[in-house]
Structure 1
Amino acid sequence: MRKAARDGGHRGLSDADLAFHRRVCAACGNSFLLRLWRTIESNLWSLHVVGNPLYSGDWSVMAGHHDDLVAALASGDPEEAARLFAAHARGEASRTRPRHRPPAP
């Protein structure tokens, strides 16, 4: 996503974004979730903000929001990951960051 953002290609960014979410679904090990994603993925093009060449936001910032999603997954905190992915799905990723929690003892 970062490379596509640097290159200024909205199509490449969209492809990378959808591939990211497809990989997350696959990594969950839930075959139903992956089948569901594959069913809806093609319909997301019309709703996808970075799929729009008129999108005026900073694509590198958009790519960086996905780092937050990866960090939430890597944290091992399913509630935080669910919160952040839900915010992302609502289009709030640009305003939502992971909560900073003290490390578990």
Structure 2
Amino acid sequence: MNGGWVYIVTNKRDGTLYVGVTADIFRRASEHHDGTYSGFSKRYGLKRLVFTERHEEIESAIARETRIKKWPRAWKVRLIHEMNPDWDDLYETLNY
């Protein structure tokens, strides 16, 4: 495995948040963006990629995702604001 990514998608600024982990951020971001990733994110229209964090090992990405999911919402919002204060959709900035 070539590492992994922790990411957060939302439907709008300060909207509903979904924290996920993937080995392929490009594919997963496309799935969210196109609305083809089923489950919670599809049900709530969470298409805007607002946070990404690269990890060298997939295991560390999974551990980080698990920790972040347990955080209070305010901590997650602060994490997004630190990296992406305008809650821009980072999907457009991924290098394919």
| Larger-gyration structure (1/2) | 1
- Larger helix proportion of the pair: 1
More strand by share: 2
TM-score bucket of the superposed structures, by smaller chain: 0.3 to 0.5
Bigger relative contact order, structure 1 or 2, given CA contacts below 8 A and separation 6+? 2
